[in-house]
Amino acid sequence: MNQNGRQEHGDNAETLIEITPDNNPPLINIGISKENWKKLIVAKGNETKANAWVRSRLHEVSGLSAEVRGIYMRVMIENFFG
């Protein structure tokens, strides 16, 4: 665990995925590990479908803060690969 009480993962490298919501608010950058991003692309079939999955998950929590959206994405990724 780090100083903030969060569990640290061995793969801290992040890929920033730029998502532009349909109603064009500012861009949202969500950190997903490179390993999980590659696994998501393979699982979904291609990068376009992986981006669509991420966009859908972000839409579910669009009214929440960026920090909470990031936490939600990490939980969703962990659940996806269960």
Task: Kindly write down the DSSP assignment for every residue of 11-43, as one continuous string.
Answer: ---EEEEEE--TT--S-EEEEEEHHHHHHHHHH
Separation CA 49–CA 57 (nearest Å): 12
Would you give per-residue pLDDT tens digits along the chain (82 residues)?
444 444 444 444 455 555 555 544 444 567 688 888 889 999 999 988 998 998 899 899 989 988 888 889 889 999 999 8
Does 8 fall in a domain? no
Q: How many structural domains does the chain have? A: 1
In-domain check, residue 5: no
> Model-level pTM greater than 0.85?
no
Instruction: Give the range of the structural domain holding residue 22, as residue numbers without chain letter.
Output: 14-81
16, 32, 82 from 28: Cα distances, Å: 9, 13, 25
In a domain, 4, yes or no: no
In a domain, 33, yes or no: yes
